[in-house]
Homo-oligomer: A and B are copies of this chain.
């Protein structure tokens, strides 16, 4: 094992003193935090942490979320060391112990939760925390449980392997951290391909490791309807297969798994378009087409009272099943070709003085929005609902997914509506090489300098549409590419240095691998010992 040192010194040589430009071996940082904290002061003083004896000491409020997090992070710390230890060079001296910068071992991290726990994470949750590791102190404190969760994640990321591979080290560090944006999401489409429960859980783990806090579950779409409704269980006839269904227990398990990690689960049942799979069980919901389209079905038929009864009733259930206050109504890409051929629809429009199909769409969405509002939930809609001119109640969030993001964000926020950004973070858009950089270079606030408008951008989401991903590759495609989005949404606006980010991301992807997230290499040649 003596080669270990040689290898690494060789690599250092490689990346500095060869002329042929073969691109660098991307060097990973040690113990850096992703996403970058708001303020962090690190020193060269360090302490040691022995996973076998180390413990968390709760000195404030306690609750199930805290206990579960402590159990998880203890496990993570043990695994970090166990999986790395044998890779290191045991013959390497442990002279670091004699270093004047070594300040002894750290037996515990005090965890000071200052307020009692909330049950569910929510848009306005407080995620700030203080973390101080010094010679005399090792304390994580936060006003809320959500801050504790974020702080525990940061603490776990500070740890790195000692040069002799026998233990973990942590540099003395002072952090005050809080996110720049409240809504830091990941959309996962489980309709184009089914994604298994265990993969969804790994995705939620990965979100927690990136401080992402909203799982936007695009659960159904044209291609399949895997959600097993309590009221309308027959709708899973639109599922791909009986083994490709989320039961009520599955949904509850995902919500609980996410809750324990401070992640909101926001469901989307996209209408009136993107509903072909609904027709497998309820063709009467969909518009009958005529003319060249005779025999085909279109979007939801918006002129039938009984359709509203059905959809209202489904939304009663959705709001009941998903505890989050926000419900994504979809509303994107509604095609008018079918409505155009249906005489009943044309008559109806005439009767109500509608002169365009946009008005008909507005009519539908308006009713749905009113319904959701009556359920004390807040709607989120894709941008078309806004650009088509639907009057949106105050507080409705407009989700930007295509086109000129700056123009759109300006238009939306000028109308005092809150917005979410996704158009620059489509994970299904692939380019050759380490293409996370394009995600990293997207700044959500570059559409204006006006603070009052900027404030209306609540955050954004990386979107994993699943046309060509399934359990085989979805995690690799999300991580670490969505980590770029996570940092843009968490870290201060001035964290933009790509070279610095590359080194930190190299560590971060490998750290996810240690934790059983099959993250792919982000930037270029290198090694991950996980």
Contacts and interface: CB of A to CB of B under 8 A. Distances in A.
A367 interface: no
A352 interface: no
A280 interface: yes
Contacts of A87: 241, 243
Given A14-B276, A520-B470, A293 B19 contact: yes
A173 interface: no
Given A277-B14, A468-B433, A19 B237 contact: no
Contact of A193 (B4, B335, B476, B525): B525
B470 A528 contact: yes
A160 B286 CA distance: 35
> How many copies of this chain does one complex carry?
2
A7 B239 contact: yes
Contact of A526 (B193, B273, B299): B193
Interface in A267-293: 273-274, 276-277, 279-281, 286, 289, 293
Contacts of A521: 193, 467-470, 472-473
Interface in A16-32: 17-23, 25
Contact of A19 (B23, B338, B513): B338
Contacts of A296: 17-19
A223 B10 contact: no
A524 B6 contact: no
Given A10-B238, A241-B4, A468 B527 contact: no
Contacts of A209: none
B468 A434 contact: yes
A236 interface: yes
Contact of A280 (B13, B434, B466): B13
Interface in A420-474: 428-435, 466-470, 472-473
B14 A280 contact: yes
Interface in A336-387: 337-338
B276 A6 contact: no
B280 A468 contact: no
Nearest to A435: B430
A241 B529 contact: yes
Interface in A158-212: 191-194
B277 A242 contact: no
7 contacts: A7-B238, A17-B297, A21-B335, A191-B525, A243-B529, A244-B527, A431-B431
Interface of A: 1, 3-4, 6-7, 10-11, 13-14, 17-23, 25, 87, 191-194, 221-224, 236-244, 273-274, 276-277, 279-281, 286, 289, 293, 295-299, 335, 337-338, 428-435, 466-470, 472-473, 476, 513, 518-529
Interface pairs A-B: 6 shortest CB-CB: A10-B280, A22-B222, A240-B527, A192-B525, A223-B525, A19-B296
